[in-house]
Amino acid sequence: MSSVNTGTTGVTTRYWDCCKASCAWPGKAQVTNPVKTCSSDGVTAVDSNAQSGCDGGNAYMCNNQQPWSVNTTLAYGYAAANIAGQSEATWCCACYALHFTSGSVIGKQLVVQVTNTGGDLGNNHFDLQMPGGGVVTKNTPAISHTVIKNGQGAVYEWQSDTITVRLTGAQTQGLFTLTEDVMKPTFKLGLHLHRKHAETFHIIEGDVEFRLGTETHVAQAGTTIHVPSNTPHAVQVINGKQARMIMLYSPAGFENFLKEMKTFTDEQFADEIFMKAFNDKYDNIQLE
């Protein structure tokens, strides 16, 4: 953990863009590896020498470089920074504990790893990486609008449901994946949680039971349920009829989970150790 001199005050803002971080270039600091960069899907790793997508290359910010909470007073995340008396060689990949002294987060702590350098930031300024936080002054690649018509999108058929991917991370700048799920009366998803992802469900048809922590809710057509990260939840179709829902998975990446799982053999599905490693890889923490 690095120090910015005990008692030093600073400023925090927030941003989220698709540019390759400054600390992702080799040689910026004496570290084992520079900050990881990804392709436009926000998940697939690319070479550390690849040019930034903001400059015509194929290297972008990775979807998982965003904050996650440990409890109500402590969270971890990433930031761009400009620290008085230091340089990129000092702050790149270093970690800092930020103690908030004002606003709705007063008394809380955020531990950040510095992954970027803010050329427009003042001294002791941390620009926190948060989805929806805005872009930096440098122009980012233009993201065109997307129209997905009926029948379009990758389709994944499973034993008890069929999932159609409506929007991918490449189409949403890594912010979210949008899917439509048609579930048979036998559909049941056991208790699990996501440490770094949130899910929002909108029921279109049928009756779906959601177990959220210690509460149980029956969602019918028109109901929307948001499940934050670190929230244990289970989903089950009830009343013996088909159900259909839209799911928004944030940040993006669920499409990669589906694509990889589609390649599995029956033997792999039956291998508990293999499946646990796979689920952990995609932030699916199974609780039962």
The catalytic site residues sit at 17, 127
Taking Cα atoms as reference points, which of 207, 249, 255, 252 lies closest to residue 228? 249
Taking Cα atoms as reference points, which of 119, 89, 93, 135 lies closest to residue 1? 93
Q: How many residues are given for the chain? A: 288
* Cβ neighbours for 61, distance < 8 A, ≥ 6 positions apart: 16, 17, 18, 19, 20, 21, 37, 38, 42, 129, 174
Q: Please calculate the CA angle 165-271-288 and round it to the nearest 5 degrees.
A: 70
